[in-house]
Amino acid sequence: MTDERAKELRYLIVDDSRVVIKALQQMLGDLGITQIETASNATEAEEKMSASGYDVLFLDWRMTGKSGVALMQQYREDRAYDNVAFVIVSGEDGQRYIQEALKSGATSYIVKPFKANTLADHVEKVVKWLEQRGRFGKA
């Protein structure tokens, strides 16, 4: 069962695959999460980020144009995004990719393809990470 606090959060899914976006939307919806927006590339994500705040970004590693990791690194350089969770979603399952993403500031890393229970586990991890940063009233 997913932490109820996950439902309070705002999510942005950034992926150039409509199939992956739909799958993530469906799985998050099944967890009771409704505040979900999507972007098909980094440029669209940047526009949405400047217009609205998000708590969690799911970023595809490899996208046309700027990669999800490059986008995450850009936001990690800005202290205003210290309390935003970045989850890299990638078909790359090698340990070096996972380590690179985590070292670059990812909160979590999900290897495609994945099942709903795997996503739920990562959402739990994100909620705990945000809790440690005082997102839910405790620091």
Domain residue extents for the chain: 10-116
In terms of Cα–Cα distance, which of 56, 48, 70 is closest to 10? 56
pLDDT for 1 equals 54
* CATH code for the domain defined by 10-116: 3.40.50.2300
Distances (CA, A) of 28 to 35, 91, 119: 9, 19, 8
pTM of the model: 0.94
Pairing of strands 85-90, 108-111: parallel
Tens of pLDDT along the chain (139 residues)?
578 999 999 999 999 999 999 999 999 999 999 999 999 999 999 999 998 889 999 999 999 889 999 999 999 999 999 999 999 999 988 899 999 999 999 999 999 999 999 999 999 999 999 999 988 875 4
